[in-house]
Amino acid sequence: MIREAFRVFDRDGNGFITAEEFRYFMTHMGEQFSEQEVDEIIAEVDIDGDGQVN
């Protein structure tokens, strides 16, 4: 599911998507995670807190 999000939103292929793009995908497409679940995922993968997930 997470790799699919990157393929959809990483349009320029730089290996990053914004946390908000990731949140939208994870709550509106596929399995539809809750906001809390997405917050937990982002907190784990956005270690430096810059709002980008790679």
The helix/strand/coil state of 22 is: helix
Q: Which domain holds residue 7?
A: 1-53
Residue with tokens 């809390």, as numbered in its chain: 36
pTM of the model: 0.62
Check whether 18 has a pLDDT greater than 80: yes
| Mean model confidence pLDDT for the chain | 82
How far, in Å, CA of 14 to CA of 38, rounded? 22
The helix/strand/coil state of 50 is: coil
Check whether 2 has a pLDDT greater than 80: no
Which pLDDT value is given to residue 5?
Answer: 67
Number of domains the chain is built from: 1
Provide the CATH number for the domain around residue 15.
Answer: 1.10.238.10
